[in-house]
Amino acid sequence: MSLKYNFKEYSYKVISQMVMRIALYVFSNYSFRLGRISEIFLTLIPNIMKDKLYDNADSFAMSFDEEWENIDCDDIKLKIDKVFELLSDHPFLISNPENARKMAEFRIFSLKKFQ
């Protein structure tokens, strides 16, 4: 008998179960401080989801911004290319490279986000 697991689906189930357990613990334990609740939901949960990449523009924008800040280069076009090399495995860049480039250029040149 061969067991097959869908690891992506399984990881979402594990995360959602963990969130529910935390919520149940928080709401059932009256001595639990509000500051600790905030710490859990504002730091722990986003850190768990930080490494998740989705095939949408928002996920790509967050990844792009993070990598942009880490690269030291004066030539903006070259810097965009370097960021795209680092993000070459991002689902949005793979499925929609033209829109990914347009979005990156829009963020840099029109929004002037990094100037």
Nearest to 66 by CA among 8, 111, 107, 98: 107
Q: What is the pLDDT of residue 113?
A: 78
Quote the CA–CA distance of 29 and 23 in Å, as a whole number.
10
- This prediction's pTM: 0.57
| Residue 95 pLDDT class (50, 70, 90 cuts) | very high
Structural tokens at position 47? 């850190």
Quote the CA–CA distance of 57 and 78 in Å, as a whole number.
21
Structural tokens at position 104? 């990156």
Quote the CA–CA distance of 43 and 40 in Å, as a whole number.
6
Task: Return the axis-axis angle of helices 76-86 and 57-70, rounded to nearest 10°.
Answer: 120
| Residue 52 pLDDT class (50, 70, 90 cuts) | confident
pLDDT above 60 (res 8) = no
